Amino acid sequence: MRKLPLNTPTPAHSALGVVGTGVEHDSAWLHTSGQARYIDDLPAPEGLLHAAVGHSEQAHARILEMDLSRVLASPGVVAVITAADVPGHLDIGPVFPGDPVLAQDTVEHIGQPLFAVAATSHEAARKAARKAIVNYQPLEAVITVQDALEHQLFVRPGRRQQRGDPDQAIAGARHQLKGQQHIGGQEHFYLEGQACLVEPTEDGGMFVHTSSQHPSEVQKLVAEVLGLPIHCVQAEVRRMGGGFGGKETQAAPLACVAALLARVTGCPVKYRLSRSDDMVQTGKRHDFFNTYHIGFDDSGLIKGADLMVAGRCGYSPDLSDAIVDRAMFHACNAYYLDQARVVGHRCKTHTVSNTAFRGFGGPQGMMIIEQAMDDIARHLGKDPLDIRKLNLFGPGRDVSHYGQTIEQQVLPELIAQLERSSAYRQRRQEIIALNARNPVLKRGLALTPVQFGISFTAKHLNQAGALVHIYTDGSIQVNHGGTEMGQGLYIKVAQVVATAFQVDVARVKVSATRTDKVPNTSPTAASSGSDLNGMAALDACEKILGGLTAFASSHWNVQEEHVRLHANQVHIGDHCLSWEDFIQTAYMHRISLSSSGFYATPKIHYDHDAGQGRPFLYYTNSAACSEVVVDTLTGEYRVLRTDILHDAGRSLNPAIDMGQIEGGFIQGMGWLTTEELVYSAEGRLLTTGPATYKIPAVSDCPPDLRVALLKDSPNHEATVFHSKAVGEPPFMLGISVWSALRDAVSSLSDYRFSPPLDTPATPERVLNAVTETRRWVNQQENGQ
């Protein structure tokens, strides 16, 4: 295996790969050569069995009878378990109850596990699971958000955030508009599906290899279903083949099922889902139904706003309470809403329980205000960018509707820079001229901002631990609570440690995330992986450095301020030692070369009852300008060009961050354009694989994609080396494509009509928008 090279040269006489340089992902060569090990690549332990579950074929029903005799008699079957065989907790809800590991008396979605099978092969287990005979008594099933609102059926109580008197402000405004939108869900479609491998240990515990963003939750829930103390279970995550939020809570049920089977059989058990089973049995991004009622003046400045966001949560709470909260927080996106009300509903439906997905509700919340911005512009005959810029947070208008002050206002200058670099004004005029000449192909252009809050909205999750060891040859090993799902967290934390000790990053190795090294970890989510785990690792380094500095000062009889680390060397007054010689000397003098570290995000607080507080430490900002062309005869379209400017603060690794921005944008574009989840009237998912569910392909990407990081914009908060989060915010840049599609269709009305366009904006929906726009034009021409 070759040594990982560095992509970006560093200044002479400096340690290689420190923070701020574009270091290659630590597993890049393993990924591209096929040598990276995922759960299904691990060597099979002796006696390995394979798991599968039999699942419900009804969306909502009572279980009258379940005959498993044919399952037990199926070739290769070793054991079958039901809810009655669970020795500990049956409910494995991650935050609130409502998620039985196996259904007991009632089923609440098609795909809900009823029983589990252990067999000698993956195929044998799946075949056996299909042989059960289950009799149901069907019950009324609620499938859509609108049905849930009509039935007043919710998984958690609704909440409200309000400032001032929005009703009076809207009533007194010169102009008023109302609107609504349906925002589709999204399948995570990680390349590695849900998988785990559970091995019984000699002391009656379990060792769990899991593809999870939250190994501590897997550890806890496995212990609870088995009726064991948590210390009897260890969970390990080396890497995931993608997560995107889909492995924050949804990996734990597999581990619990496998652990129950391992307990019954005494054998190791692997459980991995096929793509179709994965799509049927695991949660998605919440689809939303949103509405707005706004009042504004002749310039387009919003005076009052009444917004509603309602998410389809599925049959159980899962993380929906926090997800709809985040949708409410981001319903204003980057805009100041003076007199405002935001109401959020957590709708219960008899579908799979929806869960975390990149952006965690924020994208769905942003969509309603971005639609309103376009609608105001069409109503007043103005450029949508001017309306957006007019309503941005700014001096004297810097407090959100939930009470947080926007302390670092980056967007006005960022948008101005992107407006210039993308030649927005010039291209706007060119597009108007092109559209006037071509009756069929219409171009659209939109520049949309993103202001995304960084922190877990559940305050207790904003903590992290780390463990740093220096060995006697000067090499360094790090373990922390964050998980690696391809996003480059491990290499970023390695760079933080290398920078702290001023050594080459090649000296630093980050080991697999394990619950017996760093306990009680938070999920790797909320764009906080680098912020939390980088700071925890830095805390451990600073503790070690404190001891090393004191030793050097005493041993060489110099003041501590004369001890300095630089470029793999330690300068102590007039002495200079190599890093490895210094570490060997410290070891011989019995100086500690190991420490744990800890970090808890400061300043954050939020009162859910009052709907006011500071839920975020800071905000990450970005903007995208996208151009599209629409065939108005078919509704088909292409994205021609996208310009992106993103504020990453002092980037820990610009190369990794650029990759995250590009990937996030494409994934967000896919959510709003091609990725459509289709359910039958009975609640059965019909899009269960790549033949029917379309993630963006290479041909869907803009042929002209220009991405840049905002320069000279360090984080004002004391984050790790004043960097800013990058994981989720780029996802919402895809909104610019959706807005550009509306712009193109609106050109048919000379930009006087704002066409309805629910998402995903498939060619069929775009063609419907074209039809509605032409109908409006005809009505205007006929004086109707």
User: In the block, which residue shows the tokens 């799946």?
Assistant: 126
CA distance 106 to 112: 10
- Check the CA dihedral 132-138-142-143 and report its sign: positive
Radius of gyration of the chain (CA): 27
Q: Which of 242, 141, 126, 138 is nearest to 187 (CA)?
A: 242
* Helices then strands, each counted (H, E), the chain: 19, 29
CA distance 331 to 337: 10
How far is CA 750 from each of CA 446, 542, 746, 773, rounded to the nearest angstrom?
16, 62, 7, 10
If one counts every other C-beta atom within 10 angstroms of the C-beta of residue 578, the result is 12
List 728, 764, 772, 781, catalytic entry? 728
User: In the block, which residue shows the tokens 């390695």?
Assistant: 494
Which one-letter DSSP state was computed for residue 296?
Answer: E
636 noted as active-site residue: no
Q: Which of 112, 108, 113 is nearest to 142 (CA)?
A: 108
**Do 490 and 497 contact (CB within 8 A), yes or no?**
no
**Do 214 and 252 contact (CB within 8 A), yes or no?**
yes
Q: Which of 331, 336, 330, 338 is nearest to 304 (CA)?
A: 338
- The SS3 assignment for 299 reads coil
Beta strands in 150-243 (DSSP E): 154-163, 175-183, 195-200, 206-210, 233-237
Q: Would you state the structure tokens that stand for residue 428, as one six-digit string?
A: 């706007």
β-pairing verdict for 339-348 and 302-314: parallel
CA distance 643 to 705: 6
Torsion of CA 679, 363, 725, 640, to 10 degrees: 90
User: In the block, which residue shows the tokens 């904003």?
Assistant: 462
Q: Indicate the residue type of 271.
A: Y
Burial of 437 (0-12, 13-18, 19+ CB in 10 A): exposed
Biggest distance spanned by C-alpha atoms of the chain:
94
CA distance 668 to 676: 13
H or E stretch at 416: helix 411-421
CA distance 377 to 301: 11
For residue 631, the Cα-to-chain-centroid distance in whole angstroms is 33
Q: Would you state the structure tokens that stand for residue 242, as one six-digit string?
A: 């993608």
**Do 461 and 762 contact (CB within 8 A), yes or no?**
no
Question: Could you give the residue numbers annotated as active site?
Answer: 728
